[in-house]
A and B are shown apart, each in its own frame.
Chain A
């Protein structure tokens, strides 16, 4: 599959399809396949957010993270799930990722796209009637490679300062 760096309907469709596919893989626990969509130098970040005065402080505390991950640490997280002893994720939760508001623009570097999207994440565990709900903005850098689009960097700005759930191995 070849992708051109010029912004076009076709490119937009490819970006949206990439995001949907990624969400599908995560929701269906196809985690190694999901990992293969990340570049080897990928960063996966979710900073702690804090309620402060002023909109300028709303970008999250970039000193402490919920996720400060790279491909190697994500690989370990996923290996953990395969042990059957990751109690926080076993029995596996049922999750649903809704993605919307996808905006695409050319990145600072050639062959990179800056993609902003909104995520609504619903999760149900065990026989609880309740859903855990998280919502977030994602600021991604997608790289155009000979194999298609790959995720090079994801910054997740969670809308929660105090999320309510007992486990979260990936968002």
Chain B
């Protein structure tokens, strides 16, 4: 029995998974980003167990509205039924597995399988099949062939789902991360909504490269996004990304709230339009409001693959107002060396039209497939994935995750939010939190 348990934690060549992720020493093996065997284990041990973000309620406002998404590699339908309840269904017929939904969004009364005509209610229950009295000799047990249904939870309008019946409730899973999600998703009474359909594209990089970057990589801005410094739109100061709080929230979640040095003026509340300020003051606690007041950027990751970015970006055309944008994205695994990036643009419902338009354009031009910042990141994540597939890298290459390893979190008197808060976003405590959670799940003993 003990031998079996141990072998579960070892790869086929005998390497213990635990040895690849030595967060206590600030060492992560390159292999975790590229190994096909590890990838297959992730699909089962992470993507079958975690709460995964799949959609936002504003994408399916009316009864019958649906979008199709993925949980790991598994295709799902996210649908609102007649009563307004949201269901997340495996997009595969319980008869022979054909997709019962063939488009990526729409409105339906029911889902009809194009293969043999099995019909499913919006909650996934089987409604019938053609000639079933004859075909199944009146033994047709509808209840036994419901579409596979994931558990569903929502927070701040975001829809999450999990396949794991024993997973904790979503609120518990998010834990203290809720406090930080509130800063973005619930800072006005109406909250935020998705505009249009998300940007989706595929890059040849491992899904964790994105999660690992967004959770706490303040240092990369100065080099990765150096073009912005060269053009004078970001200050030429190697400390540009330092001035902020880097917060390991727990359960693998992390966030950074970045401002600027005292001498550099920042527009209040990331540059949100003044019309929204009174709404912010009503919706947020005093501590949350004070934090947002001198913030330029919020970035973070909800374990495993939901990342967020709210930033006062550079103006992307002359004379354009400098307003922030908010993007949430999921890094969808499509193989050890490939992912789909699905990136939503969201904006406060109550925002004035000029702001919504400027915010959208700033997002489109800096993030998304054609975004100038996104291009820089994506290209480097592709190169990282490409460079570490060889036998040597897989066996011997280990990455340095030591940044801030000897720094202590600051006391609660200095930072009013939950989690372990480090001063300075040049830190990898959040990344280590992410990898510690990854290791926990990958080596957990479960039936």
Q: Does A11 sit at the interface, judged by CB under 8 A?
A: no
CA distance A168 to B340 in the complex (A): 16
Contact call B369/A163, Cβ cutoff below 8 A: yes
Contact call B202/A164, Cβ cutoff below 8 A: yes
- In angstroms, how far is the closest chain B Cβ from the Cβ of A54? 9
A interface residues, tally (CB under 8 Å): 38
A67 to chain B: closest residue by CB: B370
- In angstroms, how far is the closest chain A Cβ from the Cβ of B187? 22
- Once A and B bind, how many residue pairs between them come within 8 Å at the CB atom? 120
Contact call A68/B372, Cβ cutoff below 8 A: no
With A83-B230, A85-B230, A87-B224 as contacts: A68 and B364 at CB distance below 8 Å: yes
Q: What does the 1/0 interface line of A60-86 toward B look like (CB < 8 Å)?
A: 011111111110110011011001111
Q: Does B186 sit at the interface, judged by CB under 8 A?
A: no
Q: Does A131 sit at the interface, judged by CB under 8 A?
A: no
Contact call A50/B197, Cβ cutoff below 8 A: yes
- In angstroms, how far is the closest chain B Cβ from the Cβ of A69? 7
CA distance A5 to B376 in the complex (A): 44
Contact call B370/A164, Cβ cutoff below 8 A: no
With A63-B195, A85-B226, A86-B375 as contacts: A164 and B201 at CB distance below 8 Å: yes
Contacts of B318 in A (CB 8 A): 72
With A76-B316, A87-B379, A88-B375 as contacts: A64 and B360 at CB distance below 8 Å: yes
Contacts of B102 in A (CB 8 A): 51
Q: Does B412 sit at the interface, judged by CB under 8 A?
A: no
B interface residues, tally (CB under 8 Å): 43
Q: Does A6 sit at the interface, judged by CB under 8 A?
A: no
Q: Does B203 sit at the interface, judged by CB under 8 A?
A: yes
Contacts of B196 in A (CB 8 A): 48, 61-64
Contacts of A64 in B (CB 8 A): 195-199, 345, 360, 364
Contacts of A9 in B (CB 8 A): none
CA distance A145 to B379 in the complex (A): 40
Contact call A52/B204, Cβ cutoff below 8 A: no
CA distance A165 to B73 in the complex (A): 19
Beyond the given A168-B369, A169-B370, please list 11 additional residue pairs across the A-B interface where CB-CB is below 8 A. A50-B105, A53-B103, A61-B196, A61-B197, A64-B196, A64-B364, A85-B376, A161-B200, A162-B340, A166-B375, A167-B370
Residues of B within 8 A of A (CB): 102-106, 195-205, 224, 226-227, 229-231, 316-319, 340, 345, 360-361, 364-365, 368-370, 372, 375-376, 378-382
20 cross-chain CB contacts under 8 A: A48-B197, A52-B103, A53-B106, A64-B197, A64-B198, A64-B364, A66-B199, A66-B364, A66-B369, A68-B365, A72-B317, A83-B231, A86-B227, A88-B376, A88-B379, A162-B202, A165-B203, A165-B369, A167-B369, A168-B370
